[in-house]
Amino acid sequence: MPGQTGWTGCQNCRAMYFSGSTEVSPDHGPGSNGACAAATPATPGGILPGPHVAVPEWQFQAEMNPTHRGDFTVTGWTGDFFRCTTCDGMFSIGAGAVNGVCPGRLPHREQTAVGSLLVLGHHETGDTGYFFATSWSVRDAFASGWALCGHCGLMFFHGDPSDQGVCPEPGADTHHAVSVDFGAESAFDDF
């Protein structure tokens, strides 16, 4: 199978994230499941959020180079997706939010020419870029319902209208889809 396995979705914030393992399990420790915008602080009295909690049925792979695949049923791919090295979430710099808002990075003050400014923590880009399908055949093992959030830049599951997850952008309670529907490819090819 092409692509990097170990991707799943969080049952709390609904964001796609890298679990760091091909065996997705909710009991991975806080160091391996990133930072979830919907989680309570990881430590008592802390301010950084706790880890994502995996949806066991969601086990995906992220494509790194679709040109080598040789399949003719996937007719559309979109790139410019990256793993945030802080929250482990899948994000895109093309979502309208420049490097988005990372739930694992605290807002901080920066000194500017006009004074002190509160700056939101942005996603940190890893080296590898990923691609997601935008058009595929019903025979392919893709789960639809994934979109980019226009506030934080994270890929999230928007296939359930009653649960749009939790966005880390201050003032945005839920994620806001601003993209086409993306397909997340099953790590097991058995949707």
Condensed to tens digits (0 to 9), the pLDDT of residues 122-172 reads 888 876 788 888 777 665 667 788 999 988 899 999 988 899 999 988 888
Phi–psi pair at 82, nearest 5 degrees:
-140, 155
Burial class (CB in 10 A: 0-12, 13-18, 19+), 40: exposed
CA–CA dist 79, 18 (Å, integer): 17
User: Phi and psi of 131, rounded to 5°?
Assistant: -125, 145
Mean pLDDT across 119-123: 74
The per-residue pLDDT for range 7-51, each reduced to its tens digit, is 889 999 999 999 875 444 343 333 468 889 888 666 666 666 788
* Of 82, 99, 100, nearest in space to 90 by CA: 82
| Tens of pLDDT, residues 41-92 | 666 666 667 888 888 888 888 888 776 665 555 667 788 888 888 888 999 8
